[in-house]
Amino acid sequence: MSYVLIIGAKSDIAKEVARTYAKNGYNLYLAARESESLGDLKQDIEVRSGVKVELKEFDITAYDTHEDFYTKLEEKPLGVIVVSGYMTEQKTAQKNWNETLNTINVNYTGAVSILNIVANDFESHRRGFIVGVSSVAGDRGRKANYIYGSAKAAFSTYLSGLRNRLYECGVQVLTVKPGFVNTKMTENLDLPEKLTAQPQDIAEDIFNAQQKGRNILYTKSIWMLIMLVIKHIPEFIFKKMSI
């Protein structure tokens, strides 16, 4: 069975995405920094689903290693899913340039670096799928979260262009825009229950959307409506708002 490469495999969403693809018979490359810490997850998935799981050391901001990383994959993956993300408090990021830079690099620059390489490979073989986990935060800049949001916006725009380019050769590109998600990162936030998804649900949504060949996925789907409204608020009103 084909391999799926998951970039940024340490997050709660990535863990459930990995389990979901494995449940459906795919072998996995799990790529992350300090990938040996994913040993428990590797064991879990192998026992659960009886597929092969390989851990791969990968640093999304070490751009010059990406070509080598991809070349060395013994069997090239059928699909690549980029889940990497870095979010810090907006107030921290706006005062600390390194935080800002890291936000941009993890969410955008690094993702572009590895996906350029993947795209060229998939294009030449005229097959494959690419899934990029962006965010609803990229749909409009808000004072509460615009440094992270703008990096995700750039990533969404990149994926849109990539989809346009790869359409001709039959390679699917899916942009995923999660809203609130219950994860380690958000454990102590008081998120509204109806708008908050579990990582398991996001993973199922991603798998189903990818299998159906979809282009853009909002998850939970209610976020499509919310963002539609937010995107259409005139700027002269929006600039006065706190949302």
Partner 1 sequence: MSLISWGMYPKIKNQKFSLRDTKSLHEYIDNTSEFIPFGNGRSYGDSAINENILYCKNYNNFLEFDEQNGILTCQAGVLLSEIVDSVVKRGWFLKVTPGTKLITVGGAIASDVHGKNHHIEGCFSESVEEFTIMLPNGDTKVCKKGDELFYATCGGMGLTGVILSAKLSLKKINSQFIKQTTIKTKNLKETFEAFENHKEMPYSVAWIDCLAKDEELGKCLLMVGDFADDGNLEYRSKMKLGIPFNFPSFALNKLTVKAFNWLYYAKAKDGISKQKVGIDTFFYPLDAIGNWNRIYGKGGFTQYQFILPKEHSYEGLKEILTKISASGKGSFLAVLKLYGKENKNYLSFPIEGYSLALDFKIEDGLFELLSALDEVVVKFGGRIYLTKDVRVSKETFEKGYPQIEKFREYRRENNMDKKLHSLQSKRVQI
Contact call for residue 36 and partner 1 (CB under 8 A):
no
Is the CB of residue 9 less than 8 Å from the CB of residue 18? yes
Closest distance to partner 1 from the beta carbon of 194 (Å): 8
The answer to whether 43 contacts partner 1 (rule: CB under 8 A) is: yes
Query: Which residue among 44, 54, 99, 123 contacts partner 1 (CB under 8 A)?
Result: 44
* 99 class by beta-carbon count within 10 Å (0-12 exposed, 13-18 middle, 19+ buried): middle
| Percent of the chain as helix, strand, coil, to the nearest 5 | 55, 15, 30
Site for partner 1 contains 40 (CB under 8 A)? yes
Longest alpha-carbon distance in the chain: 56
- Interaction between residue 23 and partner 1 (CB under 8 A): yes
Q: How far is the CB of 15 from partner 1 (least distance, A)?
A: 10
The smaller minimum CB distance to partner 1, of residues 43 and 215, is found at 43
Minimal distance, residue 38 CB to partner 1, in Å: 11
**Residue whose entry in the numeric block shows the structure tokens 């380690």:** 184
Residue 193 touches partner 1, criterion: CB under 8 A: yes
Q: For every residue of 19-65, which 3-state class applies, written as one string? A: HHHHHCCCEEEEEECCHHHHHHHHHHHHHHHCCCEEEEECCCCCHHH
Nearer to partner 1, 44 or 121 (CB): 44
Decide whether 157 or 196 has the Cβ nearer to partner 1.
196
CB of 208 to partner 1, least distance (A): 9
Q: Residue 154's closest CA among 132, 128, 180, 127?
A: 132
For partner 1, the binding residues (CB under 8 A) are 12, 23, 40-41, 43-45, 47-50, 184, 187, 190-193, 196
